[in-house]
Chain A
Amino acid sequence: QKEVEQNSGPLSVPEGAIASLNCTYSDRVSQSFFWYRQYSGKSPELIMSIYSNGDKEDGRFTAQLNKASQYVSLLIRDSQPSDSATYLCAVSSNTGNQFYFGTGTSLTVIP
Chain B
Amino acid sequence: EPEVTQTPSHQVTQMGQEVILRCVPISNHLYFYWYRQILGQKVEFLVSFYNNEISEKSEIFDDQFSVERPDGSNFTLKIRSTKLEDSAMYFCASSGLGTGIGETQYFGPGTRLLVL
A99-B105 contact in complex given A44-B43, A88-B43, A104-B42, C-beta closer than 8 Å: yes
Contact between B48 and A98, CB atoms less than 8 A apart: yes
Q: Which of A31, A42, A93, A103 contacts B41 (CB 8 A)?
A: A103
C-alpha gap A86/B55 in the complex (Å): 29
A31-B102 contact in complex given A44-B43, A102-B42, A104-B42, C-beta closer than 8 Å: yes
Interface size class of B (residues with CB under 8 A): 20 to 34
Contact between B91 and A96, CB atoms less than 8 A apart: no
Contact between B101 and A96, CB atoms less than 8 A apart: yes
Q: Which 8 A-B pairs have the closest CB atoms?
A: A32-B102, A96-B101, A96-B102, A98-B45, A92-B102, A101-B43, A97-B48, A97-B56
Of the A-B pairs whose beta carbons lie under 8 Å apart in the complex, a sample of 14, sorted by A's number, is A31-B102, A43-B108, A43-B109, A43-B110, A49-B104, A51-B102, A88-B42, A95-B101, A96-B102, A97-B48, A97-B55, A97-B56, A99-B45, A101-B44
**Chain B contacts to A: CB under 8 angstroms:** 31, 33, 35, 41-45, 48, 50, 55-56, 58, 91, 99-110
